[in-house]
Amino acid sequence: MTGQAEDGGLFLPAEIMNVKDQLATWQQLSYTDLAFTIMHLFIDDIPSGDLQHLIASSYSGFTHPEVAPTKAVGDLHILELFHGPTLAFKDYALQFLGNTFEYVLQQEESLNILVATSGDTGVAAIHGVLGRNGIKVFVMHPRNKIAHLQYMQMATVIDANIHNIAINGTFDDCQRLMKAVFADLQFKQTYNIGTMNSINWARILAQMVYYFYAYFRVIESSGKIGAPVIFSVPTGNFGNILSVYLAHLMGLPVAKLILATNDNDILTEFFNHGKYTRGTVHHTPAPAMDIQVASNFERYMYYFYKGDSQAVRQFYDKFDRSGCVQIDKHSSSPVDPLFVSHSINTEKIHSTIRSTWEKHGYLLDPHTAIGVEAAKNYIGNVPVICLSTAHPAKFPQVIDAAIGQDLARHPQLQALEQAKHKCTELPADIDAVMDFLRQHA
């Protein structure tokens, strides 16, 4: 339930069990049975039957029978993670989180969830708590600064427990306001305010499932259990790729992780040169990855420093002070032999969307295109699985700019155009936000 530990650190499992011997049995499982089997290893305070039920109901609204299908596109395998209610991969974690919050609350009181968003997270959070008892959600977005479709996906949800707030400011203002609310411990406690942001451990856990699932589907056709695969992951806050990193620590056979970024290449610089330097945020056609400092990277650093918390603390102290850390390494050796990383610019995003459409008749969303382009150099004997993190119809302008045709459609999104919408406008002012919460929480 708690996003962050009281000392400001992030939670990790005390033990990471090795599951290599179980992979052959797991191969037979359906998505939800696999999800139960994996998540049960880390959850000991929800009875099995209840956990099974929570998982089943979390994925019952997904529109594909396999939940997370893998498709062959040219020499690559595309893991489609857009079959949930908001058409982006965040549904795989946030549907479960919304259900679990509701379940835990049955014994306790009500919860008010505060979210700052530049798009996808807010949409998925709203749909994660939709119709759940005892939970209200307050989503702040920068007014007129998010994609129109994402605004409509949020604001057309007019249920009484959903509050969309358009802040007259930037996304940074929204994050600053959220932090200010959380810093007021008295207020936070009085109104029982929680969050669903990407540092929540349950999100990382729920995301591990589709890596195992995709591994089994791809290996079924091309090899036998134990043979390695490569994953290419379009990365922003390092949440999705952290899930596969942990799956690998558990024994999932991974030969390489391709960390794909857009012009915001701070993580690419780290894995290629050992240099971690804060820059300014570049706006790209893949806005969910327009992030400089990835919040989940801290979790990876714990394993990078082999569990030495002191070293992690020093790394982050130095980064906070100077905005730049260079780690010690031999110039010829990689920072981490498991990772390779590539930064893909806007022109390449467009050309990859175009060429994939022309060659294979398959439409990529701009985030997915980044992972696909980064994966091109690794096609060979080891199967490459690219994560498709959103449906292309969420980004019609980008598809249009790339291909010159208005091809990206989804009936669910088209229906939104006519729907009623509701949103409250507030100044970028902490008193105004707190007043609103007092009135509605």
Ligand X SMILES: *Cc1c(COP(=O)(O)O)cnc(C)c1O
Catalytic residues: 90
- Residue nearer to ligand X on the CB measure, 129 or 204: 204
Size of the chain in residues: 441
Smallest separation (angstroms) from ligand X to the CB of 22:
26
Amino acid at the residue 312: V
42 SS3 class: coil
Tell me the chain's radius of gyration from C-alpha atoms: 21
d(C-alpha 366, C-alpha 388), whole Å: 10
Q: Rank residues 136 and 391 by Cβ distance to ligand X and give the closer one.
A: 391
CB of 238 to ligand X, least distance (A): 5
Please provide the distance, in angstroms rounded to a whole number, between the alpha carbons at the two ends of the chain: 18
Smallest gap from Cβ 95 to ligand X, in A, equals 14
Strands 339-343 and 135-142, how do they pair? unpaired
Round to whole Å and give the CA distance between 399 and 114: 32
Cβ pair 259, 268 in contact under 8 A: yes
Residue 238 Ramachandran class (φ > 0 left, ψ -120 to 50 alpha, else beta): left
**Burial category of 384 from C-beta neighbours within 10 Å (exposed 0-12, middle 13-18, buried 19 and up):** buried
Residues 200 and 222: their CA atoms lie apart, in Å, by: 35
- Residue number, 156 or 240, with CB nearest to ligand X: 240
Tell me whether residue 90 or residue 342 sits nearer to ligand X (CB atom).
Answer: 90
70 vs 389 by CB, closer to ligand X: 389
Backbone φ, ψ for residue 309 (5° rounding) = -60, -35
Q: Helix, strand or coil for residue 383?
A: coil
Q: Given the complex with ligand X, which of 86 and 99 has the nearer CB atom?
A: 86
CA separation for the pair 97, 76 (Å, rounded)? 31
DSSP per-residue letters across 110-170: -EEEEEE-SSHHHHHHHHHHTT-TTEEEEEEEETT-S-HHHHHHHHT---TTEEEEEEES-
Query: What CA–CA distance (Å, rounded) separates 424 from 422?
Result: 7
Cα four-point dihedral sign 345, 346, 349, 355? negative
In the bound state with ligand X, the residue whose beta carbon lies nearer, of 112 and 142, is 142
**Using CA atoms, how far apart are residues 230 and 422, in angstroms rounded to an integer?**
44
**Which residues sit at the interface with ligand X, rule CB under 6 A?**
88, 90, 120, 198, 234-240, 288-289, 367, 389-390
- Beta carbon of residue 295, minimum distance to ligand X (angstroms, whole number): 8
Q: How far is the CB of 83 from ligand X (least distance, A)?
A: 13
